[in-house]
């Protein structure tokens, strides 16, 4: 499962395609070609090279080094059948035999708290909830400068695939037993990961109904924009091993 990161810049690496989607395309091409016995280390090196190669062809690597917000970026959760391992690179989560595992970015919750505080301030000043559910979220704009600043910790204090070396200590590797079990992989567009897609969608719908601004018990860096049935793109995969 590959989750491309939302663009924080107007720079596009491929015309007509968002940077997150293009990162997903390049990483998926690499995964389709890599040997079945690839290790987690080899995957991290190979996926990084797949994006780095693109920079060499089109964008100065020095600029990408200085401006992480302009990089191609994605999180990945992958199952190695031969090694019987699950690898979490970046902000994604999974259920393994019903047990929950994640690998969150360390700054995500403080940023969500910052946005939630601004939302409450705007509501107190008289702004309506509907105004805050428009595509241009004034509360999100408040946290963007801090988000861009902490992105300089990308592949230092947390792992992502962005064309720069991945600190493998920040990659979560889960060794599975040889007992039959069910795996669920999902992007962070599902804040409540359940054993079935139906249950996960129901929990998401409840969140949208009860707290569309995402400022309550569950806080996020985005709200449910009017007309959307989620606050973020989402992928859900369930299979048995």
Mean pLDDT of 8-34: 91
- Which residue in this structure is represented by tokens 């979220």? 137
Q: Which residues contact 192 (CB under 8 A, 6 or more apart)?
A: 200, 203, 204, 207, 218
Mean pLDDT of 170-177: 97
pLDDT tens digits for range 84-93 = 999 999 999 9
Mean pLDDT of 171-177: 97
pLDDT tens digits for range 84-122 = 999 999 999 999 999 999 999 999 999 999 999 999 999
Split at pLDDT 50, 70, 90, the class of 3 is very high
pLDDT tens digits for range 50-62 = 999 888 777 788 8
Give this prediction's pTM. 0.92
pLDDT tens digits for range 122-166 = 999 999 999 999 888 889 888 989 999 999 999 999 999 999 999
| Contact assessment for residue 171 and residue 87, using Cβ atoms and an 8 Å cutoff | yes
| The pLDDT value given to residue 9 | 80
Sheet of 2-4: strand order equals 2-4, 74-80, 85-89, 172-175
Burial class (CB in 10 A: 0-12, 13-18, 19+), 124: exposed
């Amino acid at each position: 499962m590959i989750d491309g990161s939302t663009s924080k810049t107007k720079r596009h690496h491929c015309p007509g395609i968002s940077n997150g989607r293009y990162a997903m395309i390049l990483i998926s091409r690499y995964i389709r070609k890599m040997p079945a016995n690839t290790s987690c280390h080899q995957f991290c090196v190979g996926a990084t090279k797949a994006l780095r190669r693109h920079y060499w062809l089109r964008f100065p690597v020095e600029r990408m080094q200085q401006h992480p917000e302009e990089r191609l970026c994605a999180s990945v959760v992958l199952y190695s059948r031969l090694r019987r391992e699950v690898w979490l690179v970046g902000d994604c989560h999974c259920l393994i035999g019903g047990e929950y595992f994640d690998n969150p970015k360390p700054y995500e919750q403080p940023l969500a708290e910052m946005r939630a505080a601004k939302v409450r301030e705007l509501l107190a000043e008289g702004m309506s909830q509907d105004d805050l559910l428009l595509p241009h979220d004034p509360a999100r704009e408040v946290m963007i400068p801090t988000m861009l600043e902490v992105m300089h910790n990308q592949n230092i204090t947390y792992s992502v695939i962005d064309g720069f070396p991945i600190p493998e200590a920040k990659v979560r590797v889960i060794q599975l037993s040889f007992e039959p079990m069910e795996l669920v992989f999902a992007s962070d567009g599902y804040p409540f990961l359940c054993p079935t897609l139906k249950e996960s969608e129901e929990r998401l719908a409840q969140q949208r109904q009860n707290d569309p601004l995402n400022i309550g018990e569950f806080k996020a860096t985005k709200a449910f924009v009017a007309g959307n049935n989620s606050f973020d793109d989402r992928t859900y995969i369930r299979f048995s091993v």
